[in-house]
């Protein structure tokens, strides 16, 4: 089961923490002026695609869109890492997360992952772009 990651990043802004799944192990380390010291990103092969970039002042929120290949796909999995550069090899693994999909029909789905970091931690939530419904996000079993 392959998935296509659409690399469109949109910084939404700094607002209150949205409901979401806590990203276990994310340090949310900051500088004195409350800026993230490391990227929080999605692994794309050997590359780390930053979602919440180092230097983002917390609280901060950003989105990443993922498109499935078909409407029958039941889950989207992605690996999260925290790192100082764009290499997965030098980044700290934070685990594999998955979004449950309805998996009906031939049409591909577009899911918007919403990432948020504040003093209490880092969180991820998902929304189906077709109908705006929240999709469950969970850490996959190791």
pLDDT on residue 125: 95
By residue range, what is the domain housing residue 78?
A: 3-139
pLDDT above 60 (res 119): yes
**Backbone torsions φ then ψ of 131, nearest 5 degrees:** -125, 0
pLDDT on residue 67: 85
Confidence band, pLDDT 50/70/90 cuts, at residue 105: low
Report the distance separating Cα 6 and Cα 66, nearest Å.
5
Higher pLDDT, 34 or 106: 34
Higher pLDDT, 1 or 66: 66
Give the H/E segment covering residue 128.
Answer: strand 121-128
Q: Please state, for a pLDDT cut of 70, what percent of the chain lies above it.
A: 83
Confidence band, pLDDT 50/70/90 cuts, at residue 52: very high
* Cα 75 to the center of its chain, rounded Å: 15
pLDDT on residue 15: 43
What is the largest distance, in Å, between two alpha-carbon atoms of the chain?
Answer: 50
Q: For position 62, which CATH number holds? A: 2.60.34.10
pLDDT above 80 (res 1): no
Q: Please state, for a pLDDT cut of 90, what percent of the chain lies above it.
A: 49
Tokens of 142: 């190791």
- Structural domain count, the chain: 1
Cβ pair 36, 28 in contact under 8 A: yes
Cβ pair 126, 112 in contact under 8 A: yes
- Residue range 18-46, pLDDT digits in tens: 568 999 888 887 788 899 999 999 999 99
The whole-number average pLDDT for the span 107-130 is 90
- C-alpha angle with apex 72: 66 to 77, nearest 5 degrees? 40
- Residue range 80-102, pLDDT digits in tens: 999 999 899 999 999 999 998 87
């Amino acid at each position: 089961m392959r998935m296509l990651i659409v690399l469109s990043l949109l910084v939404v802004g700094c607002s209150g923490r949205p409901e979401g799944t806590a990203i276990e192990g994310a340090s949310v380390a900051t500088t004195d002026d409350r800026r993230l010291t490391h990227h929080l990103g999605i692994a794309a092969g050997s590359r780390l695609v930053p979602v919440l970039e180092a230097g983002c002042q917390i609280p901060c929120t950003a989105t990443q869109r993922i498109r499935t290949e078909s409407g029958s796909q039941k889950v989207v999995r992605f690996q999260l890492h925290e790192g100082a550069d764009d290499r997965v090899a030098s980044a700290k693994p934070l685990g594999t997360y998955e979004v449950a999909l309805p998996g009906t029909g031939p049409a591909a789905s577009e899911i918007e992952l919403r990432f948020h970091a504040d003093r209490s931690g880092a969180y991820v939530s998902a929304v189906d772009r077709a109908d705006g419904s929240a999709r469950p996000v969970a850490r996959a079993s190791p």
